[in-house]
């Protein structure tokens, strides 16, 4: 305890299972003498405290045994002291005497109860184990090459979909609703290129170049290419439908945020706004895109019935042919099943991403 007729600084304390943390409110401290002697912490130093520029000192008898080694670090505002407990455990109080010294108070900036401290300790151990585990894994000698390849792929796709988005937006402002009817003839070539290139997104997880599964990108790439090449590409009557504008515009709006997000991930960089947009915009846009695609499929059914395009010939005993429209009706059901699978996958990715960010911030 502090002796009479001496100035004592304000001292704040917190604990963990293995350490005691003390924060002494003494700015610009000099001539510090801090030691543990017979389980008592003795502090003496010159600085600016509660009573102005003076010499301050205190002594503190610990409740349980501590090690003699003391570490401290001085800043312009305070002196931080760490004392190690001789045995790991949780103390009911800091001082040996039941009545708390007047100069001592809890450090609420660092204060944790026992359960929180145990959780913090487990997180530190998990982080250390992760580092040790990763250090044992041999580094991939082709990692730089893989990241370069993925960066270039995402860059090309970003440029392609950006051109589509900007072109459609400008035409919408200039031509208004008239731009709805010739979207396919204006945009199709670039969209063909981007969607053929998107097959790489199925190959990448198959070759383990990325950590995502094969099924979600397979569903998306197959669905878009089926619509683009079969529904729209095979029927000229479908190419002038306004629904084509909405399909292409929704696709490009999603991709102009998704691809730059993956580009930055290749160089270990993150923009918070872009991350939020990448994991939030798809919530309304992805279902709207599927609805627009479903409308296109429904509009194409009578056209395929009339033109007999892609119909399957049958033996005379069974009939003339099996209309492709039956396959489209079956495809409609599969489309909404794919929506459920992909939406569930994307929602889990979003939840996992923001949980990791929140944990990192804490």
> Which residues of 146-280 form beta strands (DSSP E)?
none
Three-class SS state of 130: helix
69 is catalytic: no
Q: Exposure of 276 by Cβ count < 10 A (0-12 exposed, 13-18 middle, 19+ buried)?
A: middle
286 is catalytic: yes
**Most distant CA pair in the chain: distance in Å?**
115
Q: Which of 21, 149, 192, 286 is catalytic?
A: 286
Q: Give me the count of residues in the chain.
A: 362
What is the DSSP annotation of 230-284? Answer: IIITT-HHHHT-THHHHHHHHHHHHHHHHHHHHHHHHTT---HHHHHHHHHTHHH
Measured distance CA(54)–CA(46) in Å, rounded: 6
Q: Which of 293, 306, 326, 347 is catalytic?
A: 293
- Helices 183-197 and 243-266, interaxial angle, to 10°? 30
Catalytic residues: 286, 293
């Amino acid at each position: 305890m502090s002796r009479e007729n001496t100035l004592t600084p304000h001292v704040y304390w917190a604990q963990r299972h293995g350490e005691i943390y003390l924060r002494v409110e003494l700015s610009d401290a000099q001539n510090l003498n801090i030691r543990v002697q017979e389980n008592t912490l003795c502090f003496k130093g010159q600085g600016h405290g509660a009573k102005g520029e003076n010499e301050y000192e205190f002594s503190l008898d610990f409740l349980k045994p501590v090690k003699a080694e003391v570490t401290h670090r001085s800043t312009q505002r305070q002196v931080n002291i760490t004392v190690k407990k001789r045995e790991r455990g949780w103390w009911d109080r800091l001082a040996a005497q039941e009545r708390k010294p007047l100069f001592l108070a809890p450090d609420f900036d660092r204060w944790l109860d026992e359960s929180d401290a145990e959780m913090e300790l487990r997180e530190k151990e998990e982080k250390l184990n992760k580092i040790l585990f990763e250090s044992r894994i041999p580094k991939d000698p082709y990692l730089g090459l893989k990241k370069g390849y993925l960066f270039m792929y995402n860059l090309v796709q970003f440029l392609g979909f950006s051109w589509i988005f900007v072109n459609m937006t400008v035409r919408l402002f200039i031509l208004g609703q008239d731009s709805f009817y010739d979207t396919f003839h204006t945009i199709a070539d670039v969209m063909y290129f981007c969607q053929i290139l998107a097959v790489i997104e199925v190959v990448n997880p198959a070759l383990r170049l990325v950590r995502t599964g094969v099924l979600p990108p397979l569903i998306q790439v197959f669905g878009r290419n089926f619509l683009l090449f079969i529904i729209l590409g095979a029927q000229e009557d479908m190419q002038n439908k306004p629904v084509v504008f909405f399909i292409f515009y929704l696709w490009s709006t999603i991709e102009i945020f998704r691809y730059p997000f993956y580009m930055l991930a290749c160089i270990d960089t993150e923009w918070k706004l872009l991350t939020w947009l990448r994991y939030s915009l798809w919530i309304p846009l992805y279902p709207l895109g599927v609805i627009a695609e479903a409308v296109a499929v429904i509009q194409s059914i009578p056209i395929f019935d009339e033109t007999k395009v892609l119909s399957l010939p049958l033996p005379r005993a069974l009939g003339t042919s099996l209309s492709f429209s039956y396959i489209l009706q079956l495809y409609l059901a599969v489309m909404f099943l794919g929506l459920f699978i992909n939406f569930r996958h994307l929602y889990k990715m979003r939840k996992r991403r923001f949980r990791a960010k929140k944990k990192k911030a804490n």
